[in-house]
Structure formats: structure tokens, C-alpha cells
Amino acid sequence: MNRTMNIKGFAVIMSAILVVFFSLHILLQSDLHRKTEKENAMRIALAKLEDENKDLNNRLNLVGTDEYIVSSAMQNYSYVNRNDIRFEFSNPQALYAYTEEEILILLDELGE
């Protein structure tokens, strides 16, 4: 009778140890999975930041050049070279396309 008590006690202790072991295993596996996903997301973010860094370094290398200064002056400050011809429009709206109402009026005039 004494031996059966020891075997039952041993079985209870072993089953408790196994339950704790498997629950910890499942918990650690899910934690590992979450951290792997986070690592992948961070690698993607790092790749994007490296691309942005390359673009910014390229722009930084171009900023000091004469070509950049001239193109910036032309775009932002309406700079014109000595040999260029500058056009100034007194009515810049005339450059825009016709509105739908104006097209209908023109079609009516042409149809008459």
C-alpha cells in the first residue's frame, strides 16, 4: 500500500510538471512569434529609412552645384538667363482651357 501511494504521488507531480512545461512552451512560442513579426516590420521600416537616407544624401550632394542653384532660381524666383526670352501675360487666365459653358457657347456660335 505504501508503494502505490508513492507511485500516485509521483504521477501527480510529474503530470503537474508536464502541464507547467507545456503551458510555458506555448506561452514562449507565442511570444517568439510576436517578436518575429515585430522584427520583420522593423526590417521593412529600416529598408524604407535607408532608401530615404540615400535620396536625401543625393539631394544634399546636388544642392551645392551650380546647376541646382540655377534651376532653383528659375523655378522659385523666376530667374531668366541673359539670352532667354521672358513672356509676361497681362491676362494669365487666357492660357487656361475653356470651361464647359464656354465650349457650349462656341458650339452654338459655330452651328448658326
- Residues with Cβ within 8 Å of 7's Cβ and at least 6 positions away in sequence, in order, are none
Element of type H or E holding 111? helix 100-111
Kindly report, residue by residue over 70-102, the tens digit of the pLDDT: 888 888 887 887 888 877 777 777 767 777 788
Kindly report, residue by residue over 15-60, the tens digit of the pLDDT: 999 999 999 999 999 999 999 999 999 999 999 999 999 999 988 8
What is the pLDDT at residue 4?
58
Q: Where are the beta strands (DSSP E) in 4-103?
A: none
Residue 2 has pLDDT above 70, yes or no: no
